[in-house]
Structure 1
Amino acid sequence: MDSNRETTGNPETTAGAVPDEHFVTQLARHHSLIRGFIGTLLPHQTDAEDVFQQTCLVLWRKWQTFDASQSFAAWACGIAFYEVKNFQRVQSRDRHYFSDEVLSLIAAQQNKSLPESEQRKQALQDCIQKLDNENRKLILDCYHGPQTIQEIADQLGRSRDAIYKKLARLRLKLMDCMQQSLPSTEAGS
């Protein structure tokens, strides 16, 4: 019997194996990928960590439904995507998060190869650097700072809605900049 061979998703079907051994092996192997995927969807590290922990619990609960003929990473990232959406629904009153549409676009792009993901990350960083100081500071404060949107609005003497509208315009500007700087994935079609 080959001990390196991947077993089926249902741990009870593997003779002699500890029921959770295959799950732990798969989770350990794909830990960084899943955590990185969640990190691309949530701007705050602590939020991403909370969602990662919740995702691990859901993965364990749904382990019996995993089809071993499919990719564990794809299955886990699919579950993580819905955990991010659930988290955002619950937290949406406290902080500003990406819309479902933007979240879906980010998730779709993240499911491609890692080098492509690194290219996108670099393109976003480059596009953020092209913003003027005021807009760059607003983006960084809102998505990476500890303050809520309301606190930032108060600090700037603007309404919360004005900040949300400004962020929406900046996201579109960043998306346009990234689309111009990244090679088209459909160019070869």
Structure 2
Amino acid sequence: MTDKEHDRNSTTQLTARDSRELLTRSWMKAQPSVFAFVIASTPQFSDAEDLLQEVAAEVAIRFDEYDPKRPFLPWALWVAKIKIADFYRLKKRERLVFAGEAIDALAAACTRVQSLMSEEQGALEHCLKETTGRTRQLLLLRYAEDLKPRQIAKRLSMSAAAVRVTLSRARSALGKCVEQRLGRKTS
């Protein structure tokens, strides 16, 4: 087997279940950035929605070509570029709004944004681990269980106003903690 064939079959060395799980987790993380890229590359939102579905299908079909040792987002954006080029070819547009270097720059920007989001998510997870007591309980009820302040108030025998104030303070404290973890100045 050549090195190229070995690289190409790298995802086939995973079990089918592991491969599906890797695809699912990778796509869920990359999908917002891929969608932003597709939206910026197409003239209408409805076209972008349709194109995103095509990109998702193509990513799933080609997943055995993906090298899990490399970042997923740039690979998914490469697939998106192919689907966008196909879209414009089928539409027979005379001028491409995004071509060549412009579409590459857009893909690079999406990759940078995804990286920043990952850093912020890591910082938020750290800050959430430091949150304890009633505040942590309120945050879990609001965001993990998706309860409204009125529902939380009823469950914890609090007023809805007290729940809203505590959640507001908790979000503010989490925001400051995240900014500090990322080395940014807070105002």
TM-score (norm 2): 0.49
- Name which one, 1 or 2, has greater alpha-carbon Rg: 2
